Amino acid sequence: MMTLVEQLAQFEVKHIDLAGVQQSYREAGQGPDLVLLHGISSGSGAWLKQLQALSPHFHVLAWDAPGYGQSDVLATDQPNALDYAHRLKAWLDALGVKQVILLGHSLGAMQAAAFQASYPEYVRALILANPAQGYYSADAAQQAEVYAKRPQMLQQLGAIGMAKLRGPHLAAHCSAEVLHLITVMMQGIGLAGFTAASYLLAYDAIKRYLRPQQAHTHVIKAMLDGITPPQDIQDLADQFQLQSCYALEQAGHLSYLDQATQFNQILLSLHDAKM
């Protein structure tokens, strides 16, 4: 039986030029466009189980965020979520994609929320999975700590060392095979992209891009998530009176990998309900 990393080879990295800027991504399937945005320590390949299982139902598009994989960095090294949203729009426009189901995981959820706020006509449904909420309202010392933490870790430990340290905390069921996939994803993280994403986490917040009772917005929380705690996510959903909040009982932070069958079923149920 092929390992997860061997299976990933079935979904090769693609590239598209955006007026001189390279954007990399993976895709599979046909149907409604499902766009997947990964978190701060990940990459497009982490969505392997969605590329596999959901491609009979969706045209699945998983990007490598700016500065990740083979995607060029943003023009600014102090971005907010709108900078990522503008790159996302340029990518979708280049692909001719105009209506999407947009799913962001962790820091990708903040980018997804900013895209929906800026370009609502593109978004059929917004799904925030294990959303990182950001430190926009924190004091300066905490913001500086958040900004420095991950880039320093990457510089000191390297991608493999960082994966060994952080990997077991990302998934509740972190087998050797899952850890290997996480390690491969972390090896695709560039320091410049990682630093920019850390700035986003430290100095922006998802709450800046959400509206109370905004339509077609769904939230997924993982009950074993120690990175974006489920109660914090429930509080966010309650504050903005979002349409639904789904709980994955046995999942950790990488819920889409940890409990892929249950995660995918949520997306299929939304698809069947025509959102």
CATH number of the domain where residue 230 is located: 3.40.50.1820
Quote the pLDDT of residue 247. Answer: 97
Residue % of the chain over a pLDDT of 70: 99
Cα 89 from Cα 196, distance rounded (Å): 19
Whether pLDDT at 239 is above 60 = yes
- At 124-177, the pLDDT tens digits run 999 999 999 999 999 999 999 999 999 999 999 998 898 888 888 888 877 888
Average pLDDT over residues 172-189: 87
pLDDT at 61 over 60: yes
Q: Is the pLDDT assigned to residue 273 strictly greater than 70?
A: no
Whether the CA torsion 175, 181, 184, 186 is positive or negative: it is negative
Is the Cβ–Cβ distance between 44 and 63 less than 8 Å? yes
How many distinct structural domains can be found in the chain? Answer: 1
Residue recorded with tokens 């998530």: 225
pLDDT of residue 174: 76
**How much is the pLDDT for 171?**
85
Answering whether pTM is above 0.85, one says yes
The predicted-structure confidence for 63-94, as pLDDT tens digits, reads as follows 999 999 999 999 999 999 999 999 999 999 99
Q: Are 43 and 66 in contact (CB under 8 A)?
A: no
DSSP the chain: ---HHHHHTTS--EEEEETTEEEEEEEE--SSEEEEE--TT--GGGGHHHHHHSTTTSEEEEEPPTTBTTPPPPS-SS--HHHHHHHHHHHHHHHT--SEEEEEETHHHHHHHHHHHH-GGGEEEEEEES-----TTS-HHHHHHHHHHHHHHHHHHHHHHHHHHHHHHH-TT--HHHHHHHHHHHTTB-HHHHHHHHHHHHH--GGGG--TT-TTEEEEEETT-SSS-HHHHHHHHHHTT-SEEEEETT--SSHHHHTHHHHHHHHHHHHHTT-
Q: Tell me the mean pLDDT in the region 192-207.
A: 98
Q: What is the pLDDT of residue 274?
A: 58
Q: What is the pLDDT of residue 243?
A: 78
- 204-214 pLDDT, tens digit each: 999 999 999 99
| Average pLDDT rounded to a whole number, residues 180-195 | 92
Q: What pLDDT does 1 receive?
A: 83
Task: Determine the structural domain holding residue 45 and report its residue range.
Answer: 4-272
Query: Taking residues 15-37, what's their average pLDDT?
Result: 97
